[in-house]
A and B are shown apart, each in its own frame.
Chain A
Amino acid sequence: MLDQGDGYITEDGRKIGGVVMEMRNITLRFGGVEAIKDISFDIREGEIRAIIGPNGAGKSSMLNVISGFYVPQEGQVFYKGAPRPPMKPYQVAQQGIARTFQNIALFEGMSVLDNVMTGRLTHMKTGLFSQALWVGKSEKEETENREVAEKIIDFLEIQAIRKTPVSRLPYGLKKRVELARALAAEPSLLLLDEPMAGMNVEEKEDMSRFILDVNDEFGTTIALIEHDMGVVMDLSDRVVVMDYGKKIGDGTPAEVRGNQAVIDAYLGVAHD
């Protein structure tokens, strides 16, 4: 086991725990292109950790490394204090890491409730045959998981559209349903890939509120990618800043805002 550290107290007085996820010297290449260059950072229990950076900085690639969609060529991922061997995305999900996607990946043909229920799949343990025959614990299990799903639907205020097929929903609501599905997994780590992309101001405010509430109510550890600097600074406890695949800053929002490299990356200076 690895030392997971003691944690810290945030400005608003929330207690942050030890390290849940640590990325150590991660390098990811696509052919000759290095999308991520030797990046290390950690995510601590109960915190909202943001990854920011200009377009093409490698933020989404980083999220995909955490969620197992990409396997880095170099470096080691530590999860809950132990090194994580290379694994498939579904195995990562089974370990308690849930995520949303930048371009929304919902099950369009299913209802909102069914979508949220798929988030419970990792919690349903009964075997294929007992499921197929609908005997034993299957029914009880279905009921219990249904209750969790309904609780999350209530929490995210989407009761009114429970039975609506997802394909009929507007963009902003789809984003919320995707968050609900990820939350339904009761994840140890929740990854949000641009949860507010393409939203108007009101929708952004709603989403920000939900992210804060989720963190507050369930104590969920959240790592999110976001473009909107204002939103990030308001939401997050600590921020990693990436540019051209490299880490150029890491710290509290205030620290990062004063960092010259970060200012340069966002305002744009000539790269040598």
Chain B
Amino acid sequence: MPEQLAFTIEVFLNGLMAGVLYALVALGFVLIYKASGIFNFAQGVMALFAAMTLYGIMNGQVPFAHLINAIFGTEIHYFGWNVPALAAILLTIAVMILLAWMVQRFIFRYLVGQEPIILFMATIGLAYFLEGVGDLMWGSDIKTLDVGLPQGINETIDEVTFGWFGYGFFIDNLDIVASVVAIILVAALVMFAQYTKQGRAMRAVADDHQAALSVGVSLNFIWILVWSLAGFVALVAGIMWGAKSGVQFSLSLIALKALPVLMLGGFTSIPGAIVGGLIIGVGEKLFEFLIGAPYLGGATENWFAYMLALLFLVFRPQGLFGEKIIERV
């Protein structure tokens, strides 16, 4: 087998893995958008906030330590204990549910029936607020999140592919774990939406508010549920990206990469978010490898996704799986 082809396959696989993470972030957007029509600009910051909270809890950080010290002149930073990863994750989930409740109670309850652009602006406000609160609570230093996920090159794949192609593929264990987790998460979400009472109520609210009320569904409860789910998805994304490249402000910028994913997949489709994520992940890696690096001077990964999204906006604005936009006259 020619080496070029083996390289291409490796790049393709790595692209898939990166795509899974994009899809994970995009999924958070789709969940909220479908159920409430809110485009949640804060999804990326929620991932950052979740990862920071998880790190803080695991390492026994005192929340708002700087604030407390500045006011009372104390010098406390740590409780002096470490919380096991699993317990810390459960606590962080509780924090994200609390956050979901607060977002609904203090922001969106007052904005029911407002224009989408107003709801969108509110989430921009939420994004900056949450970013500030996150820094204030846990400090703005770069943190290395380690919840015990395997990292580094997968030896088995390396050896097996070396046997086949005479060239060992470099696939990161973390990427494999992330993919498996993402697949399980998506499957669980789909099952939840299809086969449970709350899932059915969630789909009902996404479809028609008035009809949902008439069959006894509380919109408020469903919105809190949906924000909680988005918070949970944000936590998973935060753990994966945090483990990969550290918990820092740039983590919230992955939300920007989710935008082209959504434009490809459509804002209302869960399968769309996944396929869109994979296409962007694979597309940008392959483009960089085959065209970008040899002919365009590299670094095409920074703009490829947006370029692709732009093409979609021109030729297929509803995305691959989005509901078709029909204007009746």
Binding site for B on A (CB under 8 A): 67, 69, 88-91, 93-94, 98-99, 101, 105-110, 114, 117-119, 121-122, 124, 126, 128, 131-132, 134, 138, 142, 181-182, 185
Are the C-beta atoms of A121 and B201 separated by less than 8 Å? yes
Contact with A along B192-230 (1 / 0, CB 8 A): 100111111101101110111111111100000100000
Interfacial chain A residues near B201, Cβ < 8 Å: 118, 121
CB closest chain-A residue, reference B199? A131
Are the C-beta atoms of B217 and A106 separated by less than 8 Å? no
Interfacial chain A residues near B207, Cβ < 8 Å: 107-110
Are the C-beta atoms of A90 and B196 separated by less than 8 Å? no
Taking A118-B212, A124-B197, A181-B215 as known contacts, 8 extra A-B pairs with beta carbons closer than 8 A to each other, sorted by chain A number, are A69-B210, A90-B213, A93-B214, A93-B215, A93-B216, A98-B215, A105-B208, A109-B203
Q: Min CB distance, B230 to chain A, in Å?
A: 15
Are the C-beta atoms of B196 and A134 separated by less than 8 Å? yes
Q: Which of B191, B197, B206, B213 contacts A69 (CB 8 A)?
A: B213
Interfacial chain A residues near B215, Cβ < 8 Å: 93, 98, 118-119, 121-122, 181, 185
Are the C-beta atoms of A101 and B192 separated by less than 8 Å? no
Q: Min CB distance, A98 to chain B, in Å?
A: 7
Q: A105-B211, A109-B207 are in contact. Are A131 and B197 (CB under 8 A)?
A: yes
Q: Which of A89, A114, A132 contacts B200 (CB 8 A)?
A: A114
Are the C-beta atoms of B198 and A101 separated by less than 8 Å? no
Q: Which of B196, B204, B211, B217 contacts A132 (CB 8 A)?
A: B196
Interchain CA distance A119-B201 in the complex, whole Å: 10
Give me the 9 closest cross-chain CB pairs, A-B, nearest first. Answer: A93-B216, A105-B211, A107-B207, A89-B213, A122-B216, A131-B196, A124-B197, A94-B216, A105-B210
Interfacial chain A residues near B216, Cβ < 8 Å: 90-91, 93-94, 121-122, 185
Are the C-beta atoms of B214 and A98 separated by less than 8 Å? yes
Interchain CA distance A50-B181 in the complex, whole Å: 56
Contact with A along B18-32 (1 / 0, CB 8 A): 000000000000000
A67, A109, A119, A181 — which one has the most chain B CB atoms within 10 A of its CB? A109
Are the C-beta atoms of A142 and B208 separated by less than 8 Å? no
16 inter-chain pairs at a CB distance below 8 angstroms, sorted by A residue, are A69-B210, A89-B213, A93-B213, A101-B211, A107-B211, A109-B207, A110-B207, A118-B200, A118-B212, A119-B215, A121-B204, A122-B216, A126-B197, A131-B196, A181-B215, A185-B215
Are the C-beta atoms of B197 and A105 separated by less than 8 Å? no
Interchain CA distance A131-B196 in the complex, whole Å: 6
Q: Min CB distance, A94 to chain B, in Å?
A: 5
Are the C-beta atoms of B195 and A106 separated by less than 8 Å? no
Interchain CA distance A106-B201 in the complex, whole Å: 13
Interchain CA distance A119-B212 in the complex, whole Å: 9
Q: A107-B204, A132-B192 are in contact. Are A121 and B211 (CB under 8 A)?
A: no
Q: A88-B218, A128-B198, A131-B197 are in contact. Are A118 and B204 (CB under 8 A)?
A: yes
Q: A121-B197, A132-B198, A138-B196 are in contact. Are A105 and B218 (CB under 8 A)?
A: no
Interfacial chain B residues near A138, Cβ < 8 Å: 196-197
Q: Min CB distance, B204 to chain A, in Å?
A: 5
Q: Min CB distance, B222 to chain A, in Å?
A: 10
Q: Min CB distance, B324 to chain A, in Å?
A: 11
Interchain CA distance A94-B203 in the complex, whole Å: 18
Q: Min CB distance, A66 to chain B, in Å?
A: 12
Are the C-beta atoms of B198 and A131 separated by less than 8 Å? yes
Q: Min CB distance, A10 to chain B, in Å?
A: 29
